Amino acid sequence: MPRNRKPDEKRLIARIAPERRHDFSRRLRAWFARTQRDLPWRRTRDPYRVLVSELMLQQTQVDRVIGFYERFVARFPTLEAVAAAPAAQVREAWSGLGYYARSRNLHSLAERVVSEGSPARLPETPEALRALPGIGPYTAGAVASFAFEKRAALIDTNVERVLRRVFAPSLAPKTPRTHRLLWALAEELLPRTGKATWTHNQALMELGALVCTARVAHCERCPVRSGCATGRKHPSAKVPSRTTEVRRRT
């Protein structure tokens, strides 16, 4: 549930008519239904597999992750299997993907969850997920939404860029205030059901990865252009980003 809003968050949300918010999500989901990439973690609601995919996707391109993900879940098919293995073996299966703190965190998380009950179950809410090792606000929202189909918001660098360009292009990119304001907006944009939220969140990330990218905004083929404050000002197409943004997930 949305927390109490700060005044600047309320002002931002109040400036965007409910019809415009609904239209944005509706167009986004319709586009995703037509064009989505077939990715292995989109075919499952297994919380453990969703978690592994989200950890691997931090700072790492999708194409690179697919092979690592499939090999990893074949070798460690459950949270229990991760917890039962020495940390060095989990690290070895992660080898080549980089950012090895992620494998250490996964191992610690698995040990914690397995020690708390059998069968081992990941918690379902973002708040409870955030109490686990290595789980920040983005990953908590992603697991709650993608595994449990909760109405949970999420913002990574791609989503933040899309929401800023569409609804608030005057906000400075990549500042803590912008991040906070856009989280509040992301919560307001969620559809009514968890199932539709799954699609909405996946579609937002897909749009940021394929259409409204850090380097170029491909407005000419964007499904939400009619309601986008940036795209409407640039009818002939490509909007260069102010900076080159590095993918970040927390």
Catalytic residues: 54
User: What is the rounded distance in angstroms from the CA atom of residue 201 to the CA atom of residue 180?
Assistant: 18
CB nearer ligand SF4, residue 159 or residue 166:
166
Q: Which two tokens stand for residue 202?
A: 């996946």
Q: Which of 11, 6, 1 is nearest to 167 (CA)?
A: 11
Instruction: Please state the φ and ψ torsions of residue 69, each to the nearest 5 degrees.
Output: -60, -50
**Contact window for ligand SF4 (CB under 6 A) among 23-31, 67-75, 223-231, 242-250:** 223-231
217 makes contact with ligand SF4 (CB under 6 A): yes
Query: Rounded distance, CA 94 to CA 249, Å?
Result: 18
Does 165 interact with ligand SF4 (rule: CB under 6 A)?
Answer: yes
Cβ distance to ligand SF4 smaller for residue 29 or 225: 225
Q: Which two tokens stand for residue 12?
A: 């931002």
Does residue 114 touch ligand SF4 according to CB under 6 A?
A: no
Under the criterion CB under 6 A, does residue 212 sit at the interface with ligand SF4? yes
CA dist 178 and 60 (Å) reads 23
Under the criterion CB under 6 A, does residue 239 sit at the interface with ligand SF4? yes
Q: Cβ closer to ligand SF4: 109 or 159?
A: 159
List phi, psi (to 5°) of 80.
-60, -40
Four-CA torsion 7, 205, 47, 98, nearest 10 degrees: -110
- Give the residue closest to ligand SF4 by C-beta: 231
230 in contact with ligand SF4 (CB under 6 A): yes
222 is a site residue for ligand SF4 (CB under 6 A): yes
Contact range with ligand SF4 by CB under 6 A, out of 1-9, 28-36, 138-146, 213-221: 213-221
Point out which residues pair with 218 in neighbouring strands: 238
The residue ranges that bind ligand SF4 (CB under 6 A) are 162, 165-166, 211-212, 217-219, 222, 224-225, 228, 230-231, 239
